[in-house]
Amino acid sequence: MEIRLAQRLAALRTERGQSLEELALASGISRATLSRLERGETSPTASLLGKLCAVHGISMSRLLAGVEPQSASLVPQAAQTVWVDPQSGFQRRMVSPPSRDFKMEMVEVTIPAGAVVSYEVPTVHGTEQQFWMLEGILELTLDDAHYRLQAGDCLRFHMHGAARFFCPGPEAVRYVSLSCAP
């Protein structure tokens, strides 16, 4: 999957007619890092992917789905793509990946105890999201709003700004994220 992701990142940039320098300016990521990502020499973090998705105007789910073949109506667990952030251990399992036939996406997220995942800007402004907590505790900051979520809680919101996810532990947090782009 890492090589296909690298190829997808390079394709998105070239489809837009951008040079590495232009993408570096737009994303705030160094040209050297972008080059290594596109050659598959390094694995992107969730933060880097978030910045690139924001520049390209696509959700992270759509980016990751673009490296996998289109799926049928049934998505067996064995066919659900898992991506792990090499820096934080943040894990995304594409339970119901994006598709041209469906607007909604379903992702199972696991964040290890003590891990922090931050996004400076949303990948797609106005995306409707709902988090249903399965295990653990999640401290979530959306712009200036702070939430402490635990198993059974559900939070509904529209993404418009920065987001910070923190799992205070002592166990990992696991939740289902449903999202629908505007």
Classify residue 71: in a domain, yes or no: no
| Tens-digit pLDDT profile for residues 70-90 | 656 788 899 888 989 988 999
Residues 11 and 86 in one domain: no
Mean pLDDT, rounded, for 66-71: 62
The per-residue DSSP string of 101-169 comes to: TBSEEEEEEEE-TT-EEEESS-SSTTEEEEEEEEESEEEEEETTEEEEEETT-EEEEEE-S-EEEE--S
Classify residue 72: in a domain, yes or no: no
Domain endpoint, select from 21, 37, 65: 65
Lowest-confidence pick of 97-106, 140-149, 172-181: 97-106
| Tens-digit pLDDT profile for residues 137-149 | 999 999 999 999 9
Asked if 174 contacts 142 with a C-beta cutoff of 8 angstroms, the reply is: no
Domain endpoint, select from 44, 65, 86: 65
Please state the domain count of the chain.
2
Which residues make Cβ contacts (< 8 Å) with residue 41, sequence separation at least 6? none
**pLDDT for position 70:** 60
Residues 88 and 157 in one domain: yes
**pLDDT for position 101:** 72
Q: Where in the sequence is the domain holding 48, given as residue range(s)?
A: 2-65
More confident site: 124 or 180: 180
Residues 95 and 173 in one domain: yes
Taking Cα atoms as reference points, which of 62, 67, 14, 9 lies closest to residue 38?
9
Classify residue 102: in a domain, yes or no: yes
Classify residue 163: in a domain, yes or no: yes
